[in-house]
Amino acid sequence: MSLTELRPASHRPAPPPKKVKTRSWLYRFDNKTIPYVFISPFFILFGIFGVFPLVFNGIVAVRNWRLDDPTLTGWAGFANFERLLSDEDFWNALGNTFGIFILSTVPQLLLALIIANLLNRKLRGNTFWRIGILLPYLTPVVASTLVFAIFFARDNGMANWFLSLVGFGEETPLDWRAQKWSAWIAIATMVNWKWIGYNALLYLSAMQAIPKDVYEAAAVDGAGAWRQLWRITVPMIQPVVVFTVILSTIGGLQLFNEPMMFDENPQSASGGSAHQFQTIAQLIYKVGWKDLDLGYAAAMSWALFLIILIVAGVNTLLTRRIGGDR
Amino acid sequence: MRRTLSAVAAGLAATLVIAGCSGRDLESSNETEGGSGEQVTLKVAFWGDMGLDKLKADYEKAHPNVKIVLNTGEFNAQHEDLQKKLVAGTGAPDISAVDEGFIVQFRNQSDKFVNLLDKGAGEFESKYLDWKWKASMSADGKQIGLGTDVGGLAMCYRSDLFKAAGLPTDREQVSKLWTNWDQFIEVGKQYVAKTGKKFVDSGTNMFNPVLAQQPVGFYDDQEQLQMNGGPKVAFDVSMKAIDAGISANLASFQPNWNQGFKKDQFAVLACPAWMLGHIQETAPDQKGKWDIAAIPGGGGNWGGSWWTVPSQGKNIDAATDFVKWMVQPEQQIEVFKTVGNLPSQPDLYKDPAVLDYKKEFMSNAPTGQIFAATAANLKPQYLGKKNGPTRVAVENVITRVQQGGLKSDAAWAEAVKQAEKVAKTGKA
């Protein structure tokens, strides 16, 4: 049964041949094949729900597939992709996605790092704080986004109430959904609120593994807390930082729920009256299920897939540079 | 979804939740329970309240072997869900309501629905408003749906707010205040000047009824976009209303709009018959404060739906029977009394049960008379294949003007541009 059993070294005399063939066959099967059987469920499921849709999506992307025009079928070749390049909606959505992505990911990871650093000290009620920062992550995103949508309402919204306290917009309250900048900030706020605690916990768990004497040595050499954070902590937890950057990139570029629920009319999926905050994922949904153009939507998803690959790669390289020995 | 691990966990949780409320638990109820004949369960999908609760009880009593499961959901979501299930080829409800904004989309996929003419629905043709019957016919002459209601058009107003603003509150007199939309906007200005509150809910809810009154909507029957006809007229009215400062600029049917009812943010609301149920649902405590007057600019139609039977179902015959039963006069009148939806069969407009009906919630307004009159003399409008997305595109432009991101004099050019963009997509 043991999988760690070493095979006999070759210079030893071979064991006498087994009398019973089947026994050895069983034994070999047990050792060689069973591990694959044990790991197969994931790969089978992944094949059905991961690989197949991906491949099928690729096929749809190079076909004409309109639900409102069933007569229009057949291969489109790369027509769908060519359309993408000249589609201003797509570029607008790309811009929004990146804008919101930068506004949400950068502050999110920085704040998470600082919070994790604070939590890494001896505090009273340590567990309470650690659980506390994870609470936003446990909130269902639709519920929290709905609350935020009301928070950022034009009339009687709490955000505008805060602004009015400092004397802003008492005459004409700010319509958060009307302008690109305000809508982006509002959506980025929702994303940050949800993910800061999650990332902070990841960082914290990595920080716990850093030996204390490193810090003590640094303190003796006269490094302050800020310097310790950037010169010791960050390089030491670098693998986790890379991990969170990749995940944030994937998540940030696939942003869908927040802009969707933030819209005054979520069902139109238009991401604002002039698509101020329509993300790519939203646009894919709109093209597929509102405009009923599945072929084009599939082409967009492939484009998004490639964009995520590239951006995640670039981010990884950049993150590797950070905290490397300079 | 974001992090793989949590995604898997959340995915698992989600599947559990979805499985819990997707009606899957309802499919197991197909065993016979001592009833006669084959037990069937019919799933009916619709939105809002279509007054089916009593119909369901009556029908189940008369047909002990039929069990009806009602599934109400959000308007757009229900249509999208139906579309997805049709593509998937499985999972669609046995019977689905389809609204006028979507009927063209589904009519073009008539092979996915039961042709009700094959099931003997042809005999109903003479009973229906001619245009209502035709709107659900596919190009090759298949009938995919039987009409339930039409919208008609009237103007609901808050008599208590009118009184406070020194305006008349009597139906007749209010109707005389505004024989056309310009007069309506003038009344709005008076109201705003007097009270400091806004008069209408949104520019889009001005645009839609005015558009519904035009002989030609976004598209003519050749599927050509006709922005300079009806849409231009309606757009100008909505711009005028926004510029006059009488609009509360709330996005209709959204949470803020619902809040607007309670906070008295507007005093009038363009009212197709189905809007009455909406008002009742949103502001139940405003019973007796609403009343109904004629709409400026004459009759028109906004909304209305059909019952369709997707052909992938297992119980097509039972489903068709139930649909045929639902559109019979008694049931249609029953629905009219419960929620206010106006039937699409002109004979019923002369039926005393409809004509003498007074809606208590709306200050005992004779809704039967009001809406029957608007429905009887309306000129139906052809709705193009892309009517829905085009409407959204133009509504978005109106919203941009309301948000101050666009000047009203530049808005029309933008609206045309956006509408043309929608019209162009997917033309091979």
As a whole number of angstroms, the distance between CA A315 and CA B82 comes to 41
Token pair 């070294």 is found at A9
Contacts of B171 (CB under 8 A, 6+ apart): B291, B292, B293, B365
Contacts of A178 in chain B (CB under 8 A): 400, 403-405
Say if residue B170's pLDDT is above 90: yes
A171 CB within 8 Å of a chain B CB: no
DSSP state of B413: H
Q: What is the pLDDT of residue B125?
A: 94
Token pair 């408003």 is found at B129
Q: What is the pLDDT of residue A9?
A: 52
Confidence of residue B163 (pLDDT cuts 50, 70, 90): very high
What's the first-to-final CA gap in chain B, in angstroms? 35
Report chain B's C-alpha Rg in angstroms.
23
Of chain B, the percentage scoring pLDDT greater than 90 comes to 64
Over residues B42-63, the pLDDT tens digits come to 999 999 888 899 999 999 999 9
Q: Which of A70, A155, A274 sits opposite B400 (nearest CB)?
A: A274
As a whole number of angstroms, the distance between CA A281 and CA A308 comes to 12
Task: Answer yes or no: are the C-beta atoms of B342 and B273 closer than 8 Å.
Answer: yes
Q: Which of B2, B83, B425 sits opposite A293 (nearest CB)?
A: B425
Asked if B40-149+304-344+354-361 and B151-303+363-424 have one fold, the answer is yes
The arithmetic mean of pLDDT across residues A283-296, rounded, is: 88
Interchain pair A265, B385: CB under 8 A: no
A18 located within any domain: no
Question: Token pair for residue B18?
Answer: 């979805």
Confidence of residue A70 (pLDDT cuts 50, 70, 90): low
Average pLDDT, whole number, for chain A? 86
Locate all alpha helices (DSSP H) within B308-380, ordered by sequence. 316-326, 329-339, 352-355, 367-376
Residue type, A92: N
Residue type, B159: S
The arithmetic mean of pLDDT across residues B67-82, rounded, is: 90
Question: Which is nearest to B358 in space by CA: B171, B110, B199?
Answer: B171
Q: What is the pLDDT of residue B113?
A: 96
Confidence of residue A18 (pLDDT cuts 50, 70, 90): low
Confidence of residue A324 (pLDDT cuts 50, 70, 90): low
Instruction: Quote the number of domains for chain A.
Output: 1
Q: Residue A140's domain spans which residues?
A: 83-323
Q: What is the pLDDT of residue B32?
A: 36
Interchain pair A67, B2: CB under 8 A: no
DSSP state of B295: P
Contacts of A179 in chain B (CB under 8 A): 405
Say if residue A325's pLDDT is above 90: no
Q: Is the dihedral of CA A175, A181, A187, A192 positive or negative?
A: negative
Best residue in A279, A292, A293, A300 for a mutation probing chain B (most B CBs within 10 Å): A292
Question: Which is nearest to B82 in space by CA: A292, A87, A200?
Answer: A292
C-alpha pair distances (Å), A218 with each of A212, A213, A232, B89, B339: 10, 8, 9, 66, 75
A138 CB within 8 Å of a chain B CB: no
Contacts of B399 in chain A (CB under 8 A): 264, 273
Say if residue B427's pLDDT is above 70: no
Say if residue A230's pLDDT is above 80: yes
As a whole number of angstroms, the distance between CA B82 and CA B88 comes to 10
Q: Which of A149, A250, A273 sits opposite B403 (nearest CB)?
A: A273
More confident residue, A14 or B395: B395
A229 CB within 8 Å of a chain B CB: no
The arithmetic mean of pLDDT across residues A237-255, rounded, is: 91
B230-243 helix and B408-424 helix, angle to the nearest 10 degrees = 140
Q: What is the pLDDT of residue A67?
A: 74
SS3 of residue B55 by DSSP: helix
Say if residue B419's pLDDT is above 70: yes
Confidence of residue A14 (pLDDT cuts 50, 70, 90): low
Q: What is the pLDDT of residue A4?
A: 55
Q: Encode B222-256: b = buried (16+ Cβ within 10 Å), e = exposed.
A: eeebbbebbbbbbbbbbbbbbeeebbbbbbbbbeb
Confidence of residue B2 (pLDDT cuts 50, 70, 90): very low
Over residues A29-67, the pLDDT tens digits come to 777 888 888 899 999 999 999 999 999 999 999 988 887
- The dihedrals phi and psi of B270, each to the nearest 5 degrees, come to -65, 130
A69 located within any domain: no
The arithmetic mean of pLDDT across residues A78-94, rounded, is: 91
Question: Which is nearest to B326 in space by CA: B72, B92, B37, B97?
Answer: B97
A12 located within any domain: no
SS3 of residue B3 by DSSP: coil
Confidence of residue A78 (pLDDT cuts 50, 70, 90): confident
A168 located within any domain: yes
A254 CB within 8 Å of a chain B CB: yes
H or E, element range at B292: strand B290-293
Over residues A93-147, the pLDDT tens digits come to 999 999 999 999 999 999 999 999 999 888 888 889 888 999 999 999 889 988 9
Question: Token pair for residue B405?
Answer: 């991101």
The arithmetic mean of pLDDT across residues B128-150, rounded, is: 93
Task: Answer yes or no: are the C-beta atoms of A176 and B277 closer than 8 Å.
Answer: no
Over residues B334-343, the pLDDT tens digits come to 999 888 899 9
Question: Token pair for residue B124?
Answer: 């109903």
Contacts of B388 in chain A (CB under 8 A): 290
Over residues B282-298, the pLDDT tens digits come to 899 999 999 999 999 88
Of chain A, the percentage scoring pLDDT greater than 90 comes to 44
Q: What is the pLDDT of residue A15?
A: 63
Lowest model confidence (mean pLDDT) among A207-216, A280-289, B30-39, B110-119: B30-39
Shortest alpha-carbon distance between residue B343 and chain A (Å): 28
Interchain pair B399, A264: CB under 8 A: yes
As a whole number of angstroms, the distance between CA A118 and CA A204 comes to 9
A250 located within any domain: yes
Residue type, A160: N
What dotted CATH number matches B151-303+363-424?
3.40.190.10
Minimal Cα distance from A76: which residue of B? Answer: B428
Contacts of B265 in chain A (CB under 8 A): 155
Confidence of residue A323 (pLDDT cuts 50, 70, 90): low
A162 CB within 8 Å of a chain B CB: no
Interchain pair B111, A292: CB under 8 A: no
A128 located within any domain: yes
Confidence of residue A282 (pLDDT cuts 50, 70, 90): very high
Interchain pair B426, A293: CB under 8 A: yes
Q: What is the pLDDT of residue B9?
A: 45
**Within its chain, how far is the Cα of B16 from the centroid?**
33
Average pLDDT, whole number, for chain B? 87
CATH of the domain at A160: 1.10.3720.10
C-alpha torsion angle, residues B408, B414, B416, B419 (rounded to 10): -120
Say if residue B20's pLDDT is above 70: no
Q: Which of A68, A177, A179 sits opposite B385 (nearest CB)?
A: A68
Best residue in A48, A263, A265, A278 for a mutation probing chain B (most B CBs within 10 Å): A265
User: Over chain A, what HEC string results?
Assistant: CCCCCCCCCCCCCCCCCCCCHHHHHHHHHHHHCHHHHHHHHHHHHHHHHHHHHHHHHHHHHCECCECCCCCCCCECCCHHHHHHHCCHHHHHHHHHHHHHHHHHHHHHHHHHHHHHHHHCCCCCCHHHHHHHHHHHHHCCHHHHHHHHHHHCCCCCCHHHHHHHHCCCCCCCCCCCCCCHHHHHHHHHHHHHHHHHHHHHHHHHHHHCCCCHHHHHHHHHCCCCHHHHHHHHHHHHCHHHHHHHHHHHHHHHHCCCHHHHHHCCCHHHCCCCCCCCCCCHHHHHHHHHHHCCEHHHHHHHHHHHHHHHHHHHHHHHHHHHHCCCCC
Q: Which of A67, A150, A156 sits opposite B87 (nearest CB)?
A: A67
Best residue in A60, A67, A199 for a mutation probing chain B (most B CBs within 10 Å): A67
As a whole number of angstroms, the distance between CA B237 and CA B412 comes to 12
Say if residue B4's pLDDT is above 50: no
> Across-strand partners of B95?
B44
Q: What is the pLDDT of residue B23?
A: 38
Per domain, the residue ranges of chain B are 40-149+304-344+354-361, 151-303+363-424
C-alpha torsion angle, residues A287, A289, A295, A298 (rounded to 10): 80
Shortest alpha-carbon distance between residue B311 and chain A (Å): 16
What dotted CATH number matches B40-149+304-344+354-361?
3.40.190.10
Confidence of residue A11 (pLDDT cuts 50, 70, 90): low
Shortest alpha-carbon distance between residue A19 and chain B (Å): 48
As a whole number of angstroms, the distance between CA A163 and CA B412 comes to 34
A45 located within any domain: no
Question: Which is nearest to B165 in space by CA: B255, B18, B264?
Answer: B264
Question: Which is nearest to A209 in space by CA: A228, A227, A239, A236?
Answer: A236
Over residues B311-366, the pLDDT tens digits come to 999 999 999 999 999 999 999 999 998 888 999 999 999 899 898 899 999 999 99
A63 located within any domain: no
Task: Answer yes or no: are the C-beta atoms of B69 and B40 closer than 8 Å.
Answer: no
Task: Answer yes or no: are the C-beta atoms of A288 and A256 closer than 8 Å.
Answer: no
